[in-house]
Amino acid sequence: MKRALRRCGGWWIALAALVAGAAAQEPDVASGPAVQLPPMIVEDSAKLPPWLYARVDGAEFLSRCSTRTTRGYVETRQARLQLLEWLVPREFFLQLDVPGITVLYSQKLRSGAQEKMIEEVLRTRSRNRGGNSDVGALPNMMLDDRDATGVFAYIDEEEFESKGLTVATDYVHFLLERRTPRLPEWLREGITTIYSQSTLEKRIVIDPLLWVSPMETSALRAESGRPRALLAASDFFSAATWREEAGRSLRGRTLRAQSALFVRWALEPRHGMREAFWRFAARAAEEPVSEAMFEACFGFGFSDWRDRLSDYLPVAVSERLTLTPPDFPRAARVAIRPATASEIARLRGEWERLSIALVRRRYPEFGDHYVGQARRTLQRAHDSGDRDARLFALLGLCEVDAGNDAGAREFLERAVAERVVRPRAYYELARLRLAELTREGGAAREFEAEEIAPVLEPLRRGLAQAPPMADAFALLADVWARCGTAPPERDWALLAAGARHQAHDPRVAGRIAAAFGRHGKTAEAVALLGKAFEHATDDATRRKLAELYATLGEARK
Amino acid sequence: MLFLLTLRALRSFGLIAFAAALAGAAPSTERMEALFRPFLAERITLSPDGRYVAYTQQTGSDLAVVIMDVDRPTSKTTLIVDEDRVIEHSKERQRAALRFLRWATPTRLVFAPTVYVIPPAVKTVAPGFTPPAPVVIAPIMAVDADGGNPRTLVDATTFQEIVGAGGGATPVARMRAATILGFLPGNRERLLVQVPGVGGREATPAKVFQLDVHNGKLAEMSSEVTPRGQIYDLQGRARLLREGGYARRPQQTFLYRTVYSGRWRKLHEVTSSSEAARFTVSPETYFGERAMPLGFDFDPNVLIYASNVGRDTFGVYGLNLATMQRTDLAIEHSSRDLSSLAPDIPAASLVFDEKRQKLAGVRAEGAPLLTVWVDSKIAEVQRSLEVKFPRRSVEILEWDDARARFLVRVTGGTDPGRIYVWQKDEGLLLEIFRRAPWLPNAALHDSRLVEFAGPDGAQLSGYLTLPRAPRLKPPPLVIVFASGLPATPHAEFDREAQVLADLGLAVLRLNQRGVLGRGARQREALREGIDRAAAQDARAAIAWVASQHPIDRKRVVAMGEGFGGYLAVRATQLEPELFRCAVATEPLLEPARWVQPRPDFTAGPPSFQQEVNRIYLERTAPRLHEIGVTSHADALSHPVFVVYRSHRADTIAEGVAQLRSQLKRRDIEHQMLAVGDDYFHGLPGARAKAYRALEEFLNLNLYNYNVKIGPTRVVR
């Protein structure tokens, strides 16, 4: 984050955002107020300028800035993303079928509404347990749900210069981190590091590589033959190595620096390995890396790879790498128009809903205010006759986030019936339907195939949308694990996809393995448990997986 | 006539145009010179505490020893220790090298340049005068890790003897180079050196000294007049002696003596175990079951020897000379000989852990590199490192006393080699340097070990090098036969293969049937004639390569050096449809003449090695003259390129001359390239020149296949 801000002169804000749920990216409280809340949008008033709306590929914008500022932001964002996706193909980023939303707000309109809410909460807090007056609002942030993202940006229009905008490293990291199937850590680390050292304008300029430490980097620059340690491919591509070397040991630092070196080496046009690299990266996300697979992509083996990286290292630490993208076709002028009431409610409501989870987790005392605000925004649109399926989905998800499952059901049923594009809506509806079944028959009850059909149907539809949610795979597995009838072919395919995509998550993988085991696919179950075991980080999870493995052993006997 | 001229004109035009088109892709002379430059760090050593690495490095025309602190690699000490040497009759110079480089203590390094003998300017003298002695330069030096206290401990002048003083002859000072036996077990500050005796009526005895590595003081341990060819135990005592093995007495045996006895006894007469009883060899039994001494264990009673008695491959065993019983030591490998074949004492292949005073392992002869470790901890390290370097040979060279750091050389495949320090506790492999930093991996052609089935179920192997940028797709193929009799397997990295790949050729360096180091069965797999077997192996190899990689089967070159060169030319006679041309370096075109030199008044009886070769060849081809290349002049039909020494009048040169006249008579394209010794010393300039000529030959005789000769027509 700091690197990205430094690079863009401290200006670029919207995409340099806090990603909720990612601990590493929580706001830096040491340098700011102790409590930092997501921005709250002021209630509409006749004095305020009208909301503007724009939609481009995969994103919706709601802006209370001038048309000029809004256009500058949207079009520059598009151009930067185009460059980014030339640098790193889009398939390596998180894919969302639900367009991301961005709310742009002029800095000068920053309202006192949030401050009023904060004051109120503080008064309550002071009465109860003594106060902490060090509370403020985050200027800009990005929040995400399992199937959607939202960005809020305050823009100082007097200072605004669209050329200075860049895509923040944290955003790139987020897109890589959340991609499914999960990208291997060396790839995420390598791309993120290289991106953080890049300037994206007409050309992409990547700064000289930082190797292990500044001192070591300088020494390598001065003496190209200087001894250097690189990890062998068998270690570098092993998930176990990455787990073990999370710290700041020399081996850990080498591992991270080498990941950047690998990406940079692959991007170097003189090496002619760019296409091979992305082909390899795509396969590495799907299956364990083997030398045969590596060779099929690059045309040489592991040992040669290590040697080539080592040979390239002195160049990488000494030289800038300039990449010249092709001339992209000129983008169509983005249409910016006044937003409709439905669009305002939906985008505002989405932002406010996205805030709930973060606030509830970190500052529970502010939670009700955010829930109330989101409900009001969405309900007002509904009351005024808006029947957009997306609005129903939002209303349902808002109630789920507020802890009101009962209130959510009707909205979710409507949204799903209208075939909304909202993976989480399908999952939540399936979850509620299963809960109902379980409530009727008890937790240990076995299901008949006909009974679970209403649960499976939304799950299948939801899993056909991007991103396929881990929870949905797990729920699908749970359902089949409690049914005596074998799943049909299409559900086997979904479970196999879940096993492939979620092997790194023991929580989900264990549940899929149980379904495999229940229906006689013991070998698949054992293989999946083996992979899941490698990723288990605590004893409780390992014990659970071991118990499941023992059950499978019994079944085999 | 007109028709003929037209065809030739068309052909020549086609050739010129084709060669011109190829010229742009030709590797530069600089590139060829780079490939033939000597590698760095022919010698390298790790200090007993694992802190320092010392290695050799060429700096211009000087040989330097570099001492590097592994933890702070920037901190280096460089010492110039020798300079390149003049080669007689050559413009180029021979690179200086070390014969010894080891740490005596954690901070004291001992090293010794190879012995340099400068022949006297005046070589003949009047009768009655002692001939002048050569100048011998053979220092043994030492230096501290920080470069302090550098010292020449001893030199050849230290052991100079005045000879020829009696009988009225002019006395001459004869310098003697000390042979380094190793450090004294348990006290590495003492180096054991042996100084040979000087023959003649007043023989000067051979002596063994303990040399203080700090101040060069010598302490004499033994002095005795004995023949050369002794084996010393690790404590510096002469314990084993070779007897016989020369032309007039071809049967060779070994004499031994116990630790405290001065009496030599015949080893094969006193040993009771069946293997040990085979410590005797003659040309007839050279390739049979026998035993060869390798050296002594730290226990001076234990002789370590190699034996293939009752087995296919040579294993390594221990014999207690006090009890004459086998010890527990038995190191075996199912498919590799753990010792080279030698008429007397094979080159040292034993690896000791000096700190623990134990035998740690045995290095097998030949490629791929193989060390069989008896020390389980080192074996474990070997296994873990091999996982890190697939398709490479990992050679653990040394380790520190704590076994926390291991000095490792990784070579083979595409890479000429890199040196690492494996820091076991940190899990880090520190690449110290590349042996050829001027040859980055990406600039080399992919090369790998391949194995496939040959005729009669034989398992064949070789190294396949594929060109990165073939000039033609699919590329032509070169089959390079292994050289030697029996053939020595090809080395893992080969500069020549890289040059050929630069020329756009795929190269298979074939280990044909009968190569050494793979046991008796493989060696004896030749039944139907050594020439025919090699040609059949080449056929199988071509078929296998074609099944794995696209190659142009109409453009296959047979190639080889020495006996391999003979096989290459002979293969084009036996399998003319397989090959397009042959390339041979110093080919032994007439094996019969080679093993049985024509008797004249200066020649004595055949040497031990000649007899070994003759017997070996006659087993597969009883009538040797029938397998000669020049004996089948009619069978020659393909262009031939030969590299040979023009200034020698030997069997090779005679064969080349005869081949030339036969080819000329039959109007077959050929080029006999005369080269000097520089070429055979591997000097870059000479090699580059020869390969430039080969390139031209291949342009004309290999790449011209597509020149279409149209239908016959009369031109008026």
Secondary structure (DSSP) of A211-251: -SSHHHHHHHHH-TT--EE---HHHHT-HHHHHHT-SSSHH
- Give the pLDDT of residue B714: 43
- Does the pLDDT of residue B19 top 50, yes or no? no
A304 with B431: Cβ contact below 8 A? no
A432-446 pLDDT tens trace: 999 998 887 676 788
Which of B405, B441, B446, B493 has the highest number of chain A CBs within 10 A, making it the mutation to test binding with A?
Answer: B441
Cis check for the bond before B171: say yes or no (omega within 30 of 0): no
Tell me the Ramachandran region of residue A508: left when phi exceeds 0, alpha when psi lies from -120 to 50, beta otherwise: alpha
Q: How far is CA B557 from CA A144, A404, B636, in A?
A: 66, 82, 14
CA-based nearest residue to B697, from B533, B541, B585, B578? B585
- Tokens 């080269």 correspond to B675
- Dihedral of the alpha carbons of A501, A503, A504, A510, in degrees to the nearest 10: 130
B390 with A301: Cβ contact below 8 A? yes
Q: Residues B417, B450: contact at Cβ < 8 Å? A: no
- Does the pLDDT of residue B70 top 80, yes or no? yes
| DSSP code of residue B413 | T
A284-305 pLDDT tens trace: 998 889 999 999 999 999 999 9
Which of B387, B431, B442 minimises the CB distance to A308?
B442
B598-613 pLDDT tens trace: 555 566 677 788 888 8
- Which residues, listed in sequence order, are joined to residue A322 by a DSSP beta bridge? A205
Q: Residues A526, A499: contact at Cβ < 8 Å? A: no
CA distance B441 to chain A (A): 6
**CA B612 to CA A53: how far, in whole Å?**
95
CB pairs A-B closer than 8 Å: 81
Q: Are strands A321-323 and B447-453 parallel, antiparallel or unpaired?
A: unpaired
**What would the DSSP string read from start to end of B341-372?**
--SS-PPP-EEEETTTTEEEEEEPSSSS--EE
Element (H, E) at A373: helix A367-383
Element (H, E) at B408: strand B405-412
CA distance B51 to chain A (A): 14
First to last CA, chain A: 54
CA distance B429 to chain A (A): 5
CA-based nearest residue to A430, from A401, A403, A396, A390? A396
Instruction: Indicate the range of A36-45, A314-323, B21-30, B545-554 predicted with least confidence.
Output: B21-30
Q: Residues A460, A436: contact at Cβ < 8 Å? A: no
- Does the pLDDT of residue B194 top 60, yes or no? yes
pLDDT band at residue A206 using 50, 70 and 90 as cut-offs: very high
Segment B174-202 shows an average pLDDT of: 88
- Give the pLDDT of residue B8: 40
B648 token code pair: 């020698």
The verdict on B383 touching A (C-beta cutoff 8 Å) is: no
- Tokens 């100082």 correspond to A156
Burial B299-316 (b: 16+ CB within 10 A, else e): bbbbbbbbbbbeebbbbb
- Does the pLDDT of residue A383 top 70, yes or no? yes
A321 or B132: which leads in pLDDT: A321
Segment B309-328 shows an average pLDDT of: 91
Cis check for the bond before A325: say yes or no (omega within 30 of 0): no
Q: Residues B503, B434: contact at Cβ < 8 Å? A: no
Q: Tell me which chain A residue has its CA closest to the CA of residue B70.
A: A227
- Which residues, listed in sequence order, are joined to residue B405 by a DSSP beta bridge? B423
A288 token code pair: 């364990």
A273 or A168: which leads in pLDDT: A273
A230 with B429: Cβ contact below 8 A? yes
Which of B423, B427, B442 minimises the CB distance to A311?
B442
B489-499 pLDDT tens trace: 999 999 999 99
Beta strands in A15-78 (DSSP E): 35-37, 52-56, 59-64
Cβ-in-10-Å burial (0-12, 13-18, 19+) of B379 comes to middle
Segment B16-28 shows an average pLDDT of: 47
CA-based nearest residue to B211, from B100, B367, B61? B100
- Give the pLDDT of residue A470: 95
- Does the pLDDT of residue A28 top 50, yes or no? no
- Give the pLDDT of residue A13: 37
- Tokens 């031994």 correspond to B256
CA distance A253 to chain B (A): 11
**CA B185 to CA B62: how far, in whole Å?**
33
Question: What residues 440-469 of chain B have any CB closer than 8 A to a CB of chain A?
Answer: 440-442, 446
Count of CB atoms within 10 A of residue B525's CB?
23
**CA A58 to CA A97: how far, in whole Å?**
8
Amino acid at B641: F
The verdict on B555 touching A (C-beta cutoff 8 Å) is: no
- Does the pLDDT of residue B434 top 80, yes or no? yes
- Does the pLDDT of residue A191 top 90, yes or no? yes
Which residues, at least 6 apart from A124, have a Cβ–Cβ distance to it below 8 Å?
Answer: A365
Which of B74, B418, B431 minimises the CB distance to A229?
B431
| DSSP code of residue B335 | S
Judged by DSSP in three states, B197 sits in: coil
- Does the pLDDT of residue A488 top 70, yes or no? yes
What's the 3-state SS for A67-130? HHHHHHHHHHHHHHHHHHHHHCCHHHCCCCCCCEEEEEEEHHHCCCHHHHHHHHHHHHHHHHHC
CA distance A189 to chain B (A): 20
Instruction: Indicate the range of A198-212, A352-366, A507-521, B464-478 predicted with least confidence.
Output: A352-366
- Does the pLDDT of residue A8 top 80, yes or no? no
Segment A12-32 shows an average pLDDT of: 38
B429 with A232: Cβ contact below 8 A? yes
Q: How far is CA A296 from CA A276, A280, A293, A339, B475, in A?
A: 9, 9, 5, 52, 20
Query: What is the percentage of chain B residues whose pLDDT exceeds 70?
Result: 87
**CA A292 to CA A307: how far, in whole Å?**
17
Judged by DSSP in three states, B93 sits in: strand
A311 token code pair: 């040979």
Q: How far is CA A370 from the centre of its chain?
A: 22
Which residues, at least 6 apart from B158, have a Cβ–Cβ distance to it below 8 Å?
Answer: B178, B218
The verdict on B296 touching A (C-beta cutoff 8 Å) is: no
- Give the pLDDT of residue B275: 56
- Dihedral of the alpha carbons of A123, A127, A129, A130, in degrees to the nearest 10: 60
Segment B279-308 shows an average pLDDT of: 91
Element (H, E) at B20: helix B2-23
**CA B92 to CA B607: how far, in whole Å?**
33
Tell me the Ramachandran region of residue B617: left when phi exceeds 0, alpha when psi lies from -120 to 50, beta otherwise: alpha
- Does the pLDDT of residue B268 top 90, yes or no? no
B510-528 pLDDT tens trace: 999 988 888 888 877 776 6
Angle between helix A389-402 and helix A405-417 axes, rounded to 10 deg? 160
- Give the pLDDT of residue A142: 85
- Give the pLDDT of residue A536: 87
B423 or B592: which leads in pLDDT: B423
Cis check for the bond before B486: say yes or no (omega within 30 of 0): yes
- Does the pLDDT of residue A523 top 50, yes or no? yes
B354 token code pair: 């000096």
Name chain B contacts of A233, Cβ cutoff 8 Å: 388
Q: Tell me which chain B residue has its CA closest to the CA of residue A304.
A: B441
pLDDT band at residue B668 using 50, 70 and 90 as cut-offs: very high
Angle between helix A423-441 and helix A449-463 axes, rounded to 10 deg? 160
- Give the pLDDT of residue A29: 41
| DSSP code of residue B577 | T
- Does the pLDDT of residue A125 top 60, yes or no? no
Query: What is the percentage of chain B residues whose pLDDT exceeds 90?
Result: 53
- Does the pLDDT of residue B308 top 70, yes or no? yes
CA distance B433 to chain A (A): 6
- Give the pLDDT of residue A240: 86
B446 with A223: Cβ contact below 8 A? no
Instruction: Indicate the range of A96-110, B296-310, B589-603 predicted with least confidence.
Output: B589-603
CA distance B4 to chain A (A): 48
- Which residues, listed in sequence order, are joined to residue B556 by a DSSP beta bridge? B477
Q: Residues B244, B262: contact at Cβ < 8 Å? A: no
Q: How far is CA B72 from CA A189, A315, B80, B689, in A?
A: 28, 22, 22, 43
Q: Residues B453, B460: contact at Cβ < 8 Å? A: yes
pLDDT band at residue B393 using 50, 70 and 90 as cut-offs: very high
Amino acid at B209: F
B96 or A187: which leads in pLDDT: A187
B58 or A425: which leads in pLDDT: A425
**Is the predicted ipTM greater than 0.90, yes or no?**
no
A303 with B391: Cβ contact below 8 A? yes
Q: Residues B316, B202: contact at Cβ < 8 Å? A: no
Contacts of A335-339 spanning 24+ positions with Cβ under 8 A: A335/A54, A335/A55, A336/A52, A336/A53, A336/A54, A336/A63, A336/A67, A336/A70, A336/A71, A336/A74, A337/A52, A337/A53, A337/A54, A338/A50, A338/A51, A338/A52, A338/A53, A339/A50, A339/A51, A339/A52, A339/A53, A339/A62
CA-based nearest residue to A140, from A8, A241, A232, A43? A8
- Give the pLDDT of residue A164: 78
Amino acid at A498: G
B364-382 pLDDT tens trace: 988 889 999 999 999 999 9
